Each structure stands twice: as C-alpha cells, then as structure tokens.
Amino acid sequence: MAEKSMPKEVAYQTIHDELLLDGNPRLNLASFVTTWMEPECDRLLAEPSTRITWIWMSTQSLLRFRIDVKWQNKRKVQGKPIDKPNIVTRANIQVCWEKFARYFEVELKDLKLREGYYVMDPVKAVELVDENTICVAAILGSTLNGEFEDVKHLNDLLTQKNKRTGWNTPIHVDAESGNFAGTGIQEREDKSMAFAMSKALRHCGWLVPAYTMPADIEHMTILRVVVCEDLGRELVDKLLSHIRGVLMELTDSTINLTITFQAEVKSSERTGMLIEDLCTSPKLLSIGSNISINLLTRRWK
C-alpha cells in the first residue's frame, strides 16, 4: 500500500496511458481477443455489482480429465490395466493438450503433417486408435492456418472401428477458434521472410504473428490473422495495402501475391453481412513469383 494517495483523476490517467502501450486492439490480429460486444454487455460490465465472480479452469481441461477418469473406471471394472492411456491427435496440437498429457500422464499420439495437407488425416488417425485410446482430438479452426478438420469422416471411420472391436472411443472436438482467418505464406527461398514481414507490419500498427510449421513441414512459414467482430472491409483493404507495401520494401524483385477470399457464414446477421461483403469480390494481387497468400475467412457459432 502506498504511503501517499493520489487524486482519482491522476490514477485513472496513469493507468489509461499505460494501457495505450498495449497497442490498438482492433489492429491486433495475433490474439484471440474480444474487440466488440453488444451494447447491453457493455452496460452490464459498467454497472456496479455485488455478485460473486467464479473463476474456473479451462473447460477443455475439465472435459479431458473427465474422459480420462471415465476410461479408467471402465477399465477397472473390466479388470484391465489403466496405466497407459493415450490420445490420438495431430502435430499442430494446442499447448493445453500437451500440458494435460504431461500432468495426467497420458501419451499423445500425434500425426505428422505434410505439405499440402495441414490437418489431421482421419484415416491415419483411426489407424492409431487402440484399446488404450481415451479419445481422438479434432479441431475446427486450426491455430496454424484456420482450416477445419473433417470431423464427419473421422466419426464415420471411428464408428466402424468401434463396432468392429467393441471399443467405445469418443471424439473430442476443439471448436474454440470461432473468428478465424489464416494467412498462409509459403516462402521457398528465404525462411525469414515471414518474420521480417511480421516485424515490418508492426511499424504500421498491425500485430501479425509469424511462425514455422510443425515437424515434417518446417520449411514452411506462416503469417496468421485473427478476424475479430469489428474488422470491416476498410481495415482489411488497409491491411492488404500494407502487406503489399511491406513485400515491395523487403524484396528486390517483384513477387507474385495472390489473395482470395472464402467464407463459411453461420453466425449473427451483423457478422454474416461483414464476411459476405469480404467474399463478394475476391482480391487477386499480382506482385511477382515467389510468395502466394491465401486469406481464408471463417466465422461459425
């Protein structure tokens, strides 16, 4: 506790100024943050409250723990060993799964990705399932490129195997990445290009993360863009303009930049109108021959 107090106006301005150093949330395309809410939600947060707030750990962790315990209890009743549970997933798994596996001593059977196919292969995933598998983990909206895994095909194959073996292996679908756009950049000559672009875009105010792909396709680099509720057409056009300018500054020769828009609209009318507008006129930008960018916009609820 400070020995001396300060006027409330000074305290507010100090904190307000410090928060400005975090950057502009609307230009933060790296984090899964909320940049817009319904006015009713804003008013509820602003109103004084005497209610108790409950803070829970990740729902996913609770679900995985429950799956693990349920599997163990069933194996105990059957008189079978319970010391080697495993989860079948892919190499682009989120870090929370790795933590769960480490803390609860569960083996992760991760499928390696390959060039041209950046999600879990349902056929190979089901092949890895054995009697010790507590679940197969799929994702709708990969954190690498925003791609949806074929959960229906996975379910069909796993159902057949369960009937054939008498097992009851479930599927856990991670559907947390709702607003998602993945800008995939394959750079063939200079792996540092994506990282240089990420750094250069920060000078324009944009936060766009860059990283390499997982095992077996490490030669690929990715720039990821998270589309939030209030990212409108004007900001998207500005982002594309800055990307084009950055590429022209970082390269001596012209490059071929191809940008296309696709969408799955399964949300509110407001967001649906936004994404449909993005997709009505696919953008094709030509700047040379080394890098291609595919901007895929998905919104689901």
Residues 128, 165, single domain; the answer is yes
Q: Name the domain boundary from 138, 157, 174.
A: 174
* Among the listed residues 185, 217, 214, 216, the one whose alpha carbon sits nearest the alpha carbon of residue 198: 185
Residues 206, 271, single domain; the answer is yes
DSSP labels, 46-103: HS---PPPP----HHHHHHHHHHHHHHHHHHHHT---S--EEEEETT--HHHHHHHHH
Beta-bridge partner residues of 174: 139
- Residue 220 reports pLDDT greater than 80: no
Residues 152, 194, single domain; the answer is no
Residues 169, 234, single domain; the answer is no
Dist. CA 33–CA 179, nearest whole Å: 10
Residues 279, 258, single domain; the answer is yes
Q: What is residue 255's predicted lDDT score, i.e. its pLDDT?
A: 52
- Give the confidence band of 141 by pLDDT, cuts at 50, 70, 90: confident
CB atoms within 10 A of CB 98: 13
Dist. CA 68–CA 166, nearest whole Å: 19
CB atoms within 10 A of CB 240: 16
Share of the chain above pLDDT 90, in %: 8
The CATH number for 217's domain is 3.90.1150.160
Q: Does residue 185 belong to any structural domain of this protein?
A: yes
Dist. CA 124–CA 114, nearest whole Å: 13
Q: Does residue 294 belong to any structural domain of this protein?
A: yes
Dist. CA 154–CA 160, nearest whole Å: 10
Q: What is residue 175's predicted lDDT score, i.e. its pLDDT?
A: 65
Q: Tens digits of per-residue pLDDT, 269-298?
A: 443 333 333 333 333 333 333 343 444 443
Tokens of 276: 């449909």
Q: Name the domain boundary from 131, 150, 174.
A: 174
Q: Does residue 272 belong to any structural domain of this protein?
A: yes
Residues 99, 114, single domain; the answer is yes
Residues 105, 147, single domain; the answer is yes
Residues 131, 213, single domain; the answer is no
Residues 194, 108, single domain; the answer is no
Tokens of 172: 């856990």
- Residue 205 reports pLDDT greater than 50: yes
Q: Does residue 45 belong to any structural domain of this protein?
A: no
Q: Tens digits of per-residue pLDDT, 32-45?
A: 667 778 888 878 77
Q: How many domains does the chain have?
A: 2
Which pTM was predicted? 0.50
Report the Cα 261 to chain-centroid distance in Å.
Answer: 18
Q: Tens digits of per-residue pLDDT, 82-138?
A: 778 899 988 877 777 888 888 878 888 988 888 777 888 999 999 999 988 988 988
Residues 135, 222, single domain; the answer is no
Q: Tens digits of per-residue pLDDT, 62-83?
A: 556 566 667 677 777 777 777 7
Q: What is residue 164's predicted lDDT score, i.e. its pLDDT?
A: 93
Q: Name the domain boundary from 174, 208, 228.
A: 174
Q: Does residue 27 belong to any structural domain of this protein?
A: no
Q: Does residue 280 belong to any structural domain of this protein?
A: yes
The CATH number for 143's domain is 3.40.640.10
Tokens of 135: 């679940």
- Give the confidence band of 165 by pLDDT, cuts at 50, 70, 90: very high
Full residue range of the structural domain in which residue 288 is found? 179-300
Q: Is the dihedral of CA 140, 144, 150, 155 positive or negative?
A: negative
Q: Does residue 141 belong to any structural domain of this protein?
A: yes
Dist. CA 171–CA 136, nearest whole Å: 5
Residues 107, 142, single domain; the answer is yes
Q: Listing from the earlier edge strand, what are the strands of the sheet with 210-212?
A: 210-212, 221-225, 179-187, 291-300, 265-266
Residues 163, 204, single domain; the answer is no
Q: Does residue 39 belong to any structural domain of this protein?
A: no
Residue given tokens 């400070």 in the structure block: 2
- Residue 204 reports pLDDT greater than 80: yes
DSSP labels, 113-127: PBTTB-S--HHHHHH
Q: What is residue 267's predicted lDDT score, i.e. its pLDDT?
A: 42
